[in-house]
Amino acid sequence: MKLFDNKIIIVTGAAGGMGKAIVQELLNEDATVIALDLSTKNLEDIQHERLLTYETNVLAEENIQKIVSEVYENYGKIDGLVNALGIAQAATPVEEVTLEEWDRLLNVNVKSLFITSRAVVPFMKQQKKGSIITIASISAVRPRPGLQTYIASKGAAESFTRGLAIELAEHGIRVNTIHPGPADTTMLGKFTSNGGDIEQTKEEIFRKSVPLGRLIVPQDIANAVSFLLSDKAEIITGSTLNVDGGRGL
Ligand SMILES: NC(=O)c1ccc[n+]([C@@H]2O[C@H](COP(=O)([O-])OP(=O)(O)OC[C@H]3O[C@@H](n4cnc5c(N)ncnc54)[C@H](O)[C@@H]3O)[C@@H](O)[C@H]2O)c1
């Protein structure tokens, strides 16, 4: 039997660099995956009877409630939620960051977690079981200049996750955070300051910052998600797993 045989798992940001690897890993382990993203085009090459895709903004609260309710009605349970969506901030001095940019980052990177978690928790409480994972960032504890707003959002993401972990433990629901280090997805280039060289930033700033000597790849994150979601991690909640090649040291 595979790790997620007969498990129903919702993934946000599912068409992103990490999201897609997570979707593929969960499908390989026999899960049914409900994949949410603004655009699901990047998932079109995965043709699988256990993959359901929804194109939606995760901030569209009513839509998320509706999708989650439909999933529960159709399958009678929701085993897992993986919050893998997110947006980056181009490195910017704090005095140049607009209120709109602050709100946009906090809304997407934090409010989305509230919306998805609030939608699944009532069903997980009925089951007395569930696992929620949020992809935050090692930058929350090992910051870099110019990324203050993104870093604030990821700190909030980790704190929210820990808050949920203590609140939901008595209901058998586990809630954990993963802090990726710099990862080789399209997002990484978006941290480059305006006008900066993306490839040079990736190599000079990011790769060289990883003690183990290479960028994190999406499969590294998918492996960690798979472990934390599964019953192999049944006594782990409120934890933060750094998948960062030692960047947090
Ligand atoms: N790439 C890195 O270096 C790095 C490092 C640390 C943490 N992270 C975090 O890991 C997670 C995944 O990042 P990634 O590298 O795969 O990025 P990515 O840009 O490849 O994927 C992010 C996905 O989220 C989706 N998305 C964004 N806003 C959305 C919304 N409102 N509704 C629905 N979908 C939305 C995007 O369409 C995209 O497919 C993010 O939370 C990111 O902050 C990334």
- The CATH number of residue 126's host domain is 3.40.50.720
Query: In this predicted structure, what is the pLDDT of residue 51?
Result: 98
- Which atom from ligand 1 is nearest to the alpha carbon of 13? 24
Query: In this predicted structure, what is the pLDDT of residue 119?
Result: 98
Say yes or no to pLDDT of 205 above 90: no
Residue 194 in any domain: the answer is no
Measure 163 CA to ligand 1 centroid, in angstroms.
22
Mutation pick for ligand 1 pocket among 25, 37, 113, 147 (CB with most ligand atoms within 8 Å): 37
Element (H, E) at 28: helix 17-28
- For helices 17-28 and 218-229, the axis angle rounded to 10 degrees is 50
Residue 191 in any domain: the answer is no
Percentage with pLDDT > 70 across the chain: 100
Residue 92 in any domain: the answer is no
pLDDT, tens only, 75-98: 999 999 999 999 999 999 999 999
- Which atom from ligand 1 is nearest to the alpha carbon of 182? 3
Amino acid at position 238, single letter: G
Q: Does residue 72 have an active-site annotation?
A: no
**What's the full length of the chain, in residues?**
249
Q: Which of 135-139, 145-149, 184-188, 220-224 is predicted with the least confidence, judged by mean pLDDT?
A: 184-188
| Nearest CA residue ID for atom 38, ligand 1 | 16
Count other Cβ atoms within 10 Å, centred on residue 103: 12
pLDDT, tens only, 185-194: 989 888 888 8
Instruction: Please count the structural domains in the chain.
Output: 1
| Domain containing residue 14 | 8-86+106-182+217-241
Residue indicated by tokens 């979707």: 23
Comparing 194 with 209, which gets the higher pLDDT? Answer: 209
Q: Ligand 1 in contact with 86 (CB < 6 A)?
A: yes
Extract the tokens encoding 126: 């009925």
Say yes or no to pLDDT of 66 above 90: yes
Extract the tokens encoding 68: 């989650």
Residue 139 in any domain: the answer is yes
Q: Quick one: pLDDT band at residue 202, thresholds 50, 70, 90?
A: confident
Comparing 192 with 13, which gets the higher pLDDT? Answer: 13
Say yes or no to pLDDT of 72 above 90: yes
Phi-psi region of 174 (alpha: psi -120 to 50; beta: other; left: phi over 0): beta
Q: Quick one: pLDDT band at residue 242, thresholds 50, 70, 90?
A: very high
Query: In this predicted structure, what is the pLDDT of residue 77?
Result: 97
Residue 96 in any domain: the answer is no
Say yes or no to pLDDT of 203 above 90: no
> What mean pLDDT value characterizes the chain?
96
Residue 66 in any domain: the answer is yes
